[in-house]
Amino acid sequence: MSVPTAGLSLAADFPEATRAEWQKLVLGVLRKSGVATEATAADEVEELLATQTYDGPLIRPLYTADDLPAGGVGLPGLAPFVRGGRPQGAGATGWDVRALHAGPDAKLAAEAVLTDLENGVTSLWLRLGPGGLPIDALSTVLGEVYLDLAPVVVDAGAQTQSAAEELFRLAATRGVPGSALAGSLGADPIGLAARSGLPADGPTGLVEAAALAARCVAEFPGVRALVVDAQPYHRAGGSDVEELGASLATGVAYLRALTDAGLSLPEALGQVEFRYAVTADQFSSIAKLRAARRLWSRVAQVCGAEPAERAQRQHAVTSAPMMTRRDPWVNMLRTTLACFGAGGGGADAVTVLPFDTRLGLPDDFSRRIARNTQTLLQEESSLIRVIDPAGGSWFVESATAELAEAAWAWFTEIERAGGIVAALRSGLVAERIAATWATRAEAIAHRRDPLTGVSEFPNLAETLPTRAPAPAEPLAATTGGTPGLPEIHYDADFEALRSWADAHAAAAARPVVFLATLGSAAASTARASFAANLFQAGGFETPTSGSGTDPAVIAAAFAASGAAVACLCSGDKVYAEHAAGVARALRDAGARQVWLAGQPGSRAQADAEAGIDGYVFTGCNAVAVLQASQAEAGVR
What is the per-residue pLDDT across 409-446, written as a single tens digit (0 to 9) for each? 999 999 999 999 999 999 999 999 999 999 999 999 99
> To 10 degrees, what angle do helices 330-345 and 282-303 make?
40
- What is the DSSP pairing of strand 51-52 with strand 58-59? antiparallel
Percentage, residues of the chain above pLDDT 70 = 96
pLDDT above 90: residue 474: no
Q: How many C-beta atoms lie closer than 10 Å to residue 23's C-beta?
A: 17
pLDDT given for residue 417 in this prediction: 98
- Does residue 479 carry a pLDDT above 50? no
State the pLDDT at residue 499: 96
Contact 145, 166 (CB under 8 A): no
Q: Which residues pair with 59 in a beta bridge?
A: 51
Cα–Cα distance for residue pair 463/564, rounded to 1 Å: 26
Helix boundaries (H) for 80-159:
106-118, 138-141
Asked whether the predicted pLDDT for residue 527 surpasses 70, the reply is yes
Distances in whole angstroms, Cα of residue 128 to Cα of each of 134, 135, 144, 158, 216: 6, 6, 18, 10, 20
Distance, CA of 283 to CA of 425 (rounded, Å): 33
For residue 66, the model assigns a pLDDT of: 86
- Decide: 597 and 617 in contact? Cβ < 8 Å: yes
Task: Tell me the DSSP string of 299-368.
Answer: HHHHHT--GGG-PPPEEEEE-STT--SSSTTHHHHHHHHHHHHHHHHT-SEEEPPPTTGGGSS--HHHHH
Contact 71, 364 (CB under 8 A): no
Q: Max alpha carbon distance in the chain (Å)?
A: 88
The domains of the chain, with CATH numbers, are 96-432 (3.20.20.240), 495-633 (3.40.50.280)
Contact 294/83 with Cβ under 8 angstroms?
no
- Cis, peptide link before residue 80, omega less than 30° from 0: yes
* DSSP output for 241-253: HHHHHHHHHHHHH
Cα distance between residue 33 and residue 13, in whole Å: 33
In the chain, pLDDT over 90 holds for what percent of residues?
84
pLDDT computed for residue 483 by the predictor:
84
Residue 512 has pLDDT above 70, yes or no: yes
pTM of the model: 0.94
Paired sense of beta strands 123-127 and 152-155, if any = parallel
pLDDT tens per residue, range 67-93: 888 877 889 999 999 999 988 888 778
pLDDT at 434: 97
Phi first, then psi: give them for residue 446, nearest 5 degrees.
-85, 0
The pLDDT confidence band at residue 478, using thresholds 50, 70 and 90, is: very low
Would you give the DSSP letter of residue 472?
P
Q: How far apart are CA 139 and CA 416, in angstroms?
A: 45
127 phi and psi, to 5 degrees?
Answer: -90, 120
Q: Is 9 a residue whose pLDDT tops 90?
A: no
CB 446 within 8 A of CB 616: no
Are 213 and 409 in contact by the 8 Å Cβ rule? The answer is no
